Structure 1
């Protein structure tokens, strides 16, 4: 079980850390998504900060399990908000969103299974 917890947590942290980095450096993909979803580009850094906090929180969960659980739950909520944003503009191309949503959802499930619920 520990191996599953380790792999899922590290993968989720890495993917979200890379997404945060893309937001911070002004990569074209987050910009085009912001334009398509009618989200102001000025929100890219604050949204990147939330992704980075989630990624770091997952890693901190190895030392303090409750932080990992809260980080995974926060990322799940972040991506539920992203889903609402996609649906608001009637964008139904949700495959990339699904990948980004399923990773923290899996991290949350594995975290709770490994550490037990509060």
Structure 2
């Protein structure tokens, strides 16, 4: 009986973290598309060219859609989660390289993506 409860708990954790990661990435992509002054200031502080704004927003949105697709095709979800983890690892790198130590935003998204990846793999027994 404990194994069934553990499997259900892992499924709930996977769905919850994945949906949180989807929502967070859709929201931040939408904020990027509006050219929010806060996002532009964050990019400037990290030394990211403003010309990268829309391509980066596209990647965040693609990652979110990939996570959703992962409910139907698990391999797509794993690839999307790995992509988002790498994406936000790059964001942390850019911040650190620019000696910009306000990492709460990239690390929050990184944790959500990593959580979706780890719980997704654990839910599937990988």
**TM-score class normalised by the smaller sequence:** over 0.9
Aligned counterparts of 2:75 and 2:13: Cα–Cα separation in 1: 18
For residue 22 of structure 2, the aligned residue among 13, 24, 28 is 13
Could you tell me how far apart the structure 2 residues matched to 1:61 and 1:112 are?
11
Please tell me the root mean square deviation across aligned C-alpha atoms, in Å.
1.0
Q: Once superposed, which parts of structure 1, at least 4 consecutive aligned residues long, lie more than 4 Å away?
A: none
Shift of 1:111: 0.6
Task: Select 1:31's aligned residue among 40, 61, 66.
Answer: 40
Q: 1 CA distance for matches of 2:58 and 2:124?
A: 27
Q: Which residue among 42, 56, 81 is the counterpart of 2:51?
A: 42
Tell me how far 1:62 sits from its aligned partner.
Answer: 0.5
**Tell me, which stretches of 5 or more residues in structure 1 are unaligned?**
none
Q: Indicate the residue corresponding to 2:81 in structure 1.
A: 72
SS for the counterpart of 1:36 is: helix
Partners of 2:55 and 2:104 in 1: CA distance: 24
Give the TM-score normalised by the residue count of structure 1: 0.94
Q: Following TM superposition, by how much is the alpha carbon of 1:42 offset from its aligned partner in structure 2, in angstroms?
A: 1.1
The residue number in structure 2 matching 1:104 is 113
Please give the per-residue CA displacement for 1:42-98, whole angstroms capped at 9, x wherever unaligned. 110000000000000000000000111110000000011111101111111222222
Provide the C-alpha distance between the structure 2 equivalents of 1:43 and 1:96, rounded to a whole number of angstroms: 17
Worse-matched range after superposition: 94-103 or 53-62? 94-103
- 1:82 aligns with 91
Shift of 1:115: 1.6
- Bigger-Rg structure (1/2): 2
CA distance in 2, matches of 1:18, 1:95: 16
Match of 1:56 in 2: 65
